[in-house]
A = this chain, B = another copy of it.
């Protein structure tokens, strides 16, 4: 190691904003801190990056250790480096975010987390550090993302009604969408395959089922589009 690089260093952490969808709400996964600073305060799951792990690995490890969540596709969001964001010392954090189906994931608090729980996005406790700012940016990114990339592939069952897909968008965007307009636009994206099946076991009139065309879905994810809804 060259001598000129021996100077005081910031600590490096990762933080994870995991959004969870259920039938009604957009939720976010938080942990209650078991250590100072902000002991007892709710925060995003996260922690220090080890010298021998990549940033992505650190995010996955911390998320799993503190909340039990595994096999979540975390995407890098932004790196936050304000001077005073941690009362202990200079800490720079690389934030990640993800969107999962709530029913797929059972949370289990451990390590530095006293408990882990899902909170509705519009009913959050006060958060530790600058985590409110990180969460706000992640939320904005998520809303922006659904305008440029298809969603639903990992959030819906393999066969679904258009109503279910529309509901996903409504929950994320937090506003009702016009049914006819939504159907027209989503079908124009050419990522859905209409099946020769209808819903079963439903109280209302059974709706036509669809599935995603995986190849077209992936292509659209890559190239982007504009879904002005």
Contacts and interface: CB of A to CB of B under 8 A. Distances in A.
A41 B22 CA distance: 52
A55 B82 CA distance: 8
Interface string A184-200: 00000000000000000
A94 B79 contact: yes
A125 interface: no
Contacts of A2: 36, 88
A49 B88 contact: no
Contact of A9 (B12, B78, B226): B12
A224 B143 CA distance: 12
B81 A54 contact: yes
A144 B149 CA distance: 13
Interface residues of A, number: 36
Q: How many copies does the complex hold?
A: 2
Contacts of A9: 9-12, 51
Contact of A51 (B10, B36, B48, B78): B10
The A interface is mostly helix, strand or loop, or mixed, namely loop
A49 B10 contact: yes
Contact of A88 (B5, B7, B12): B5
A81 B82 CA distance: 19
Contacts of A76: 78-79
Contact of A81 (B49, B90, B224): B49
A24 interface: no
Interface string A88-99: 111010100000
A1 interface: yes
A51 B5 contact: no
B5 A92 contact: no
A31 to B, nearest CB: 17
9 closest A-B pairs (Cβ-Cβ)?
A226-B226, A55-B81, A9-B9, A79-B79, A79-B94, A8-B51, A51-B90, A1-B89, A54-B81
